[in-house]
Chains A and B, each alone.
Chain A
C-alpha cells in the first residue's frame, strides 16, 4: 500500500525532498559563513521568526485590513464588471468597439499610476481599493461577454420556444450558462486585485500585509522580513488555490 503510494507520488515527493535539501544546504552554508547571514538569514531563524511576526506584528489584524480592501475592491469589480459585460453582450457594435480597449486596460500597467491615485484619493485605504477595483474590472467584463456569447444556441432556442421574456432569458438561460466562464474572469480579476492591493500597500506603506513587509524591511529585521514575505506568498498561494478549486467545482466537465 505504502509502496504503491510512494511509487505513484514519487515525483511530488522528489520535489519536496529537493526543496528540503536546498533549505538544509542554505542553512549549512549560512551557518558555515559561506553566505553572509546579514544578507540571507538562516532558514531556521526565518522559521522561528514566524511566531514573532504573527504575534507581535498583529498579523491577523493586517490580514483583516487587506481582506476588507480585497472584498470591497473585488466585490465592486464584480458588481460593476458583470453588468457592463452583459450590456456589451447585448450590442454587437459596442462589443466590437470596446473589447480591444478593455483588453488594453487589462494589460495596462495601472499600478504605476499610484502617485496619481494618491493625489486623487489621498494616502488612505480608498486609494488602495480604487486601484484594486480598476485593475480587477477588465477581466470580469471580458469574461462576462465571452461567457454570454458562448451560450449554446440550443439553449437559446429552448428559451425562445418557451416564449421567455428578455429578463427570463437572461436569468434562466444566459447567466447560468455563462457563470463558469464569468467565474474564470472573477478568478483572474481577484488575482489582479490581490497583487495590486498588496503591492500598493507596500509601495505607499499603508494598510495590511504589504505595509508589514515594508516596515520589517525598514527596521532591517531580516528574519522577520523573510518570514513576512513567506507569509504573504503563502496567503497569495492559498487564495489562488481556493479560487481555482471553486472554479473547478463550477466547471466539472473541464
Chain B
C-alpha cells in the first residue's frame, strides 16, 4: 500500500487510499443529504423515503418469490433477445466487415439507424409478435443487433491481414475462414459489442414490459408504481441498476481477459 502510494506520488496520480476516502466521503454526503431531505418534511408523503425504509424494502424484495419469478421472465426474454440479436449482428457484421462493396452499400443504414429511439417500434412488434414475451424479445433483439453488427464489422476490418492470407493460402472455405480465422481474431470486438448490445437489450426489454406486459421486472415496476410504494420502487430500481451494472462489468471483464 505504501509502495503504491509512493509510486502514485512520483507519477503525480492520487494515492488509491485518498481516492477511496473521497469516494466514501461523497457517498456519505449524498446519503446524509438524502436522509436529511427525507426527514425535513419538505417533500410530499413518501416521495423521498428514509434510507431505513428503502433498506427494509430492499431486504423484503430480495426474499420475495414474486421478484425472482419476474426476474426469471426478464432474464429469459433478455437472453433470447441477445441470442437472436447477436446471431444476426455477428453475421451482418462479418458480411459488412469482410466485403468493402457490402460495407459501402449497407453499413450507412445500420450506422445511422443505430442511435434512433427503438422503443417507438414497440407498437409494430406488438402487431407482429403479440402482447406476450415475443414482442419484448423482438424489440430487445433489434436493439442488440445494431451495437453488435457495428462492433463486429469494425473488428473484422481490424483483423491482421496476415491471418487472412494464411487462411487463404491453406485454401480454407468460407466456413473455415469464419470459424478458424475471423471469429477467434474478433473475440474482443464481438464481446464488446455483446456488452453494449446486452445493455440496450436489457433496457428495451424492461421498457417493453413497463408499457404492456403481465410479467417481468418492468411489469413489477409498474405494479409497485401503481400502489405508490415508493420505498419498494426505489429498492427495485436499485436492484435492477445493480444487476445491469454487474452484467455489464462481467462481460467487460471477459472482453479484457481475452484481449
Contacts and interface: CB of A to CB of B under 8 A. Distances in A.
A191 B207 contact: no
B105 A203 contact: no
A114 to B, nearest CB: 8
A233 B142 CA distance: 14
Nearest to A108: B241
Specify which of A39, A97, A214 lies most central, judged by the most chain B CB atoms within 10 Å of its CB: A97
Nearest to B230: A119
B117 A236 contact: yes
A104 B199 CA distance: 12
Contacts of A191: 115
A241 B115 CA distance: 11
Interface residues of A, number: 52
Contact of B14 (A93, A109, A195, A236): A93
A188 to B, nearest CB: 9
A118 B230 CA distance: 12
A224 to B, nearest CB: 11
Contacts of A113: 237
Say what secondary structure dominates the interface of chain A. helix
B109 A96 contact: no
Interface in A216-254: 216-217, 222, 225-226, 229, 232-233, 236-237, 240-241
B112 A241 contact: yes
B102 interface: yes
A33 interface: no
A92 interface: yes
Contacts of B122: 202
Interface in B79-131: 100-106, 108-109, 112-113, 115-117, 119-124, 126-128
B120 A232 contact: yes
Interface in B195-242: 199, 202-203, 206-207, 210-211, 218, 221-222, 224-225, 228, 230, 233-234, 237, 240-241
Interface string A31-61: 0000000011000000000000000000000
Closest 3 CB pairs of A and B: A217-B123, A11-B104, A15-B105
B106 A39 contact: no
Contact of A11 (B23, B101, B109, B202): B101
26 contacts: A11-B101, A11-B104, A11-B105, A14-B105, A39-B127, A40-B128, A94-B22, A96-B14, A97-B23, A107-B244, A107-B248, A109-B206, A109-B240, A111-B203, A112-B207, A112-B218, A116-B233, A119-B233, A120-B47, A198-B120, A199-B119, A199-B207, A203-B119, A232-B120, A237-B113, A240-B115
B207 A115 contact: no
Contacts of A196: 117
B203 A15 contact: no
Contacts, number: 138
B117 A107 contact: no
A213 interface: yes
Contact of A104 (B100, B218, B245): B245
A12 B103 CA distance: 9
Interface of B: 12-14, 18-19, 22-23, 26, 47, 100-106, 108-109, 112-113, 115-117, 119-124, 126-128, 199, 202-203, 206-207, 210-211, 218, 221-222, 224-225, 228, 230, 233-234, 237, 240-241, 244-245, 248
Contact of A118 (B203, B211, B225, B237): B225
A98 interface: yes
A197 to B, nearest CB: 8
A210 interface: yes
A196 B19 CA distance: 32
A98 B22 CA distance: 9
B13 A96 contact: yes
Contacts of A229: 120-121, 123-124
A194 interface: yes
Contacts of A40: 127-128
B120 A202 contact: yes
A236 B19 contact: no
A216 B234 CA distance: 33
Specify which of A14, A15, A19, A232 lies most central, judged by the most chain B CB atoms within 10 Å of its CB: A15
A232 B117 contact: yes
A206 to B, nearest CB: 14
A107 B124 CA distance: 27
Nearest to B103: A11
A112 B203 contact: yes
